């Protein structure tokens, strides 16, 4: 798996195309859009040889082994499944799908077609995240008791932005909620038992989410995300011996060391710094023959959490089982 085709020409495409093109052994051979003109313009911008009109035409090409799917969430299941049925491996932009049922259908289609899939959640593949997982497994923080996560970007919209269209899966719950819910699931390693959520709705989509989660062993989590506050992308995982703090977990700040801190009970603070590209690591993993089950389970269970949060918010913040 070395040759990628890109399905969609949305806002997120430029960044990931550059990561694909800079990953050793990987090339981007084609990009598809709904119109030939748009596909050609983006192909020229990104230095991609083939511009393809229509997504189905991309899936029939013999110079494409895998697809990066950067369409709105409402189209993820349809085109991920179509790609699998065409024998293409799938790198799907987050969220994996609009609902848990759709996410499971993607997983099933890829398994039946014997192709590999990942959601494009880059932070999970950074060496910093690997270190955090090791610290949690080793008990460096003691017994985890509470997780906090916050991700926000103030009004990050462009014209015709799908995030403002509820029919396309818009809103912060599926978008930024993927990060905060996924962080809590990563930290605890399992689904919560219950969740409760409140959302602020503007223009028909969620603009702010505030949520609480209850896990087994009396572990709790608080989540915040939205489009109406300044940039935040931090978490704290608090244990009985120490807390792990990170201020840029979704994507490291540009021109700064990629770092995190361990604060112990006596007030001592350790800073840990890391190097590496999370996106290239993610692409290399998908292109390898290494097992993907742990990341696929993370994605499927994050989708379940988001559905429970949506259900709770629709019920006025009532606690909902996951």
- Give, for all 322 residues of the chain, the pLDDT tens digit: 699 999 998 766 788 999 999 999 999 999 999 999 999 999 999 999 999 999 999 999 999 999 999 999 999 999 999 999 999 999 999 999 999 999 999 999 999 999 999 999 999 999 999 999 999 999 999 999 999 999 999 887 766 777 777 778 888 999 999 999 999 999 999 999 999 999 999 888 899 999 999 999 999 999 999 999 999 999 999 999 999 999 999 999 988 899 999 999 999 999 999 999 999 999 999 999 999 999 999 999 999 999 999 999 999 999 999 9
H-only helix segments in 22-146 = 36-46, 55-59, 76-85, 100-113, 127-138
Query: Rounded CA gap, 173 and 73, in Å?
Result: 12
Q: What is the pLDDT of residue 1?
A: 67
Query: Rounded CA gap, 172 and 156, in Å?
Result: 11
Looking at 94, 233, 311, 319, which residue is catalytic?
94
Q: Which segments of the chain belong to CATH 3.40.50.720? A: 3-120
The DSSP bridge pattern shows strands 258-264 and 269-274 to be: antiparallel
CATH class, 123-321 region:
alpha beta
To the query of whether residue 94 is one of the catalytic residues in this protein, the response is: yes
Question: What is the CATH number assigned to the segment(s) 3-120?
Answer: 3.40.50.720
Q: The whole model's pTM is what?
A: 0.96
Hey, is 281 helix, strand or coil? helix
C-alpha pair distances (Å), 89 with each of 13, 41, 120, 179:
18, 25, 13, 23
CA atoms within 13 A on the CB side of 102: 19
Which helix or strand (DSSP H or E) is residue 174 part of? helix 172-175
Chain centre distance of CA 313: 21
Q: What is the pLDDT of residue 10?
A: 76
Q: What is the pLDDT of residue 159?
A: 65
User: Sign of the CA dihedral 77, 78, 80, 85?
Assistant: positive
Q: Which residues contact 115 (CB under 8 A, 6 or more apart)?
A: 83, 84, 87, 88, 89, 90
Q: Which segments of the chain belong to CATH 3.30.360.10? A: 123-321
């Amino acid at each position: 798996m070395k040759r990628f085709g890109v399905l969609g020409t949305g806002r997120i495409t430029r960044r990931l195309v550059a990561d694909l093109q800079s990953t050793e052994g990987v090339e981007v051979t084609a990009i598809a859009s709904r119109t030939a003109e748009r596909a050609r313009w983006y192909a020229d911008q990104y230095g991609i040889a083939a511009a393809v009109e229509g997504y189905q035409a991309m899936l029939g090409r013999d110079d494409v082994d895998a697809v990066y799917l950067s369409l709105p969430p409402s189209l993820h299941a349809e085109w991920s499944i179509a790609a699998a049925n065409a024998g293409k491996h799938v790198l799907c932009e987050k969220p994996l799908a609009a609902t848990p049922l759709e996410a499971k259908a993607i997983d099933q289609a890829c398994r039946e077609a014997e192709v590999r899939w990942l959601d494009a959640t880059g932070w999970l593949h950074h060496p910093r995240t690997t270190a955090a997982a090791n610290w949690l497994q080793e008990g460096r923080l003691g017994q985890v008791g509470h997780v906090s996560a916050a991700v926000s970007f103030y009004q990050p919209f462009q014209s015709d932005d799908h995030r403002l269209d509820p029919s396309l899966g818009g809103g912060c719950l599926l978008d930024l909620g993927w990060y905060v819910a996924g962080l809590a699931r990563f930290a605890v390693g399992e689904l919560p038992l219950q969740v409760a959520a409140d959302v602020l709705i503007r223009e028909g989509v969620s603009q702010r989410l505030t949520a609480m989660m209850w896990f087994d062993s009396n572990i709790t989590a608080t989540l915040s995300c939205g489009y109406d506050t300044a940039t935040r992308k931090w978490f704290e995982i608090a244990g009985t011996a120490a807390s792990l703090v990170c201020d840029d977990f979704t994507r490291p700040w540009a021109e700064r060391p990629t770092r995190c801190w361990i604060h112990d009970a006596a007030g001592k603070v350790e800073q840990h710094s890391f190097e590496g590209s999370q996106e290239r690591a993610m692409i290399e993993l998908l292109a390898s023959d290494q097992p993907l089950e742990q990341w696929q389970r993370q994605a499927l269970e994050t989708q379940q959490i988001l559905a429970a949060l949506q259900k709770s918010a629709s019920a006025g913040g009532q606690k909902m089982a996951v």
